[in-house]
Amino acid sequence: MTSNVRPQKKMATNFLNPDSVSDRESFILFLDALVADRQQAEALERSNPKMYSLGGANDWQNSSISAFLECALAGAEAQDKWGTSSGLSWQDLAVFLFLGKIYE
């Protein structure tokens, strides 16, 4: 089986903050940091499955794509001020994806 895992880059923690997203470029940096964060979490979880049996590494609560999307949706629905009347911003999209990581 061929791995599609991208080489890990040094992750800057501030890029993983959805509040730092303001435009397309910062959204791409956020996505890159989110991918690197998940890859690191997967490696940690594989190295010590018992330790992460009740919750994922790096605060990842949802490891499958279906759980990730379900919780991103639930988190978005629970946010009173998510999105604007003129549409979604880059930051709104980043918050949506971050909710998929942390929302239970």
Return the pLDDT at 78. 87
SS3 34: helix
> How do residues 56-77 score in pLDDT, each as one tens digit?
999 999 888 999 999 899 988 8
pLDDT digits (tens, 9 = 90+) for 6-51: 444 444 557 899 999 999 999 999 999 999 999 999 999 999 999 9
Could you state, in order of their start, the residue ranges of all structural domains in the chain? 20-102
